[in-house]
């Protein structure tokens, strides 16, 4: 079964300096039909004005992945990490028993565009952990590059859940397939551009819920960048 969630159906937050679109219920946006998909809890598509951001705030028992599309993000946390996250970088913070961090647009004048993803962990109250790695465009061009997995397979970041996250870039005839076991479901998020997935045409910001399919096929991209979440079979 394939179910498209169009970009325009997402929830919104607008604070002047922040414009955010929410694929799932988040903060003041609450949709009882879109609370999560398996262990995937949040996909926030954030655009942050120059010099603005989120002051120090706490998290607990959540796997938080940050994927920058444009600009640069300055990160600081109570684990002692301070980093700059730019396009191609993937940050994964396992909040575990508790961590606080701040996130700001590194530029005073240029906009910042990023995706922040939350996934529920397999075990609660674990030890907080920070990871960051760069994945070159060549690693993602015309293929699905594994960026997070439970066992750090193929140099991916290690996520504390039975989840695999892939990133890919597709243009024209470039295509990729992902075999799916019967106990898996998939969520596809088009970060930018246009892409066909299992015969469904998706535009920037669109999401696709996939259940009961044997394979995922991606292609016919137009400047497309995509995130693919391979998840445990949906719990409800």
Contact 113, 70 (CB under 8 A): yes
Q: How many domains does the chain divide into?
A: 1
Rounded Cα–Cα distance for residues 128 and 196 (Å)? 37
pTM: 0.97
Take residue 125 and report the two structure tokens written for it.
């109250």
Dihedral Cα 158, 187, 182, 3, nearest 10 deg: 170
pLDDT at 5: 97
d(CA 96, CA 126): 4
Helices (H), the chain: 137-140
> Tell me, what's the pLDDT at 231?
98
Of 198, 202, 191, 193, which Cα lies nearest the Cα of 6?
202
Contact 37, 231 (CB under 8 A): yes
- Find tokens 């596809």 and name the residue: 188
CATH number, position 77? 2.60.120.10
Return the bridge partners of 77, or none. Answer: 101
Buried b (16+ CB within 10 A) or exposed e, 182-217: eebbbbbbbbbbbbbbeeeebbbbbbbbbeebeebe
Q: For residue 234, what pLDDT is reported?
A: 65
Q: How are the residues of the chain apportioned to helix, strand and coil, as percentages rounded to the nearest 5?
A: 5, 60, 40
Boundaries of domain holding 18: 2-232
Q: What is the token pair recorded at 124?
A: 């609660």
Mean pLDDT, each 10-residue run in order, the chain (236 residues): 97 97 97 96 98 97 98 97 97 98 98 98 96 98 98 98 98 98 95 98 98 97 98 76
Residue 97: its pLDDT value, please? 98
Q: 95: phi > 0 → left, psi -120 to 50 → alpha, else beta; which?
A: alpha
**Ranges of H-type helices in 90-208:** 137-140
165 in Cβ contact with 65 (< 8 Å): yes
**DSSP classification of residue 66:** E
């Amino acid at each position: 079964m394939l179910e498209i969630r169009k970009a325009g159906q997402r929830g919104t937050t607008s604070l002047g300096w922040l414009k955010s679109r929410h694929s799932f219920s988040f903060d003041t946006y609450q949709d009882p039909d879109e609370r999560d998909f398996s262990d995937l809890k949040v996909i926030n598509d954030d655009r942050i004005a120059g010099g603005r951001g989120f002051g120090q705030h706490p998290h607990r028992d959540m796997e938080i992945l940050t994927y920058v599309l444009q600009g640069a993000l300055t990160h600081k946390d109570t684990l002692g990490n301070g980093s700059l996250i730019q396009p191609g970088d993937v940050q994964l913070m396992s909040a575990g028993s508790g961590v606080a961090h701040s996130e700001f647009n590194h530029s005073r004048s240029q906009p910042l565009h990023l995706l922040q993803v939350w996934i529920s962990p397999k075990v609660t109250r674990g030890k907080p952990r920070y990871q960051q790695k760069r994945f070159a465009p060549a690693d993602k061009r015309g293929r699905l590059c594994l960026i997070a997995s439970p066992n750090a397979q193929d140099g991916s970041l290690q996520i504390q859940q039975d989840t695999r996250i892939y990133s890919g870039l597709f243009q024209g005839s470039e295509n990729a397939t992902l075999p799916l076991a019967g106990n898996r479901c998939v969520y596809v998020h088009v970060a930018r551009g246009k892409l066909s997935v299992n015969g469904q045409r998706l535009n920037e910001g669109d999401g696709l819920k996939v259940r009961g399919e044997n394979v995922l096929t991606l292609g016919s991209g137009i400047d497309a960048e995509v995130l693919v979440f391979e998840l445990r079979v949906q719990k409800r």
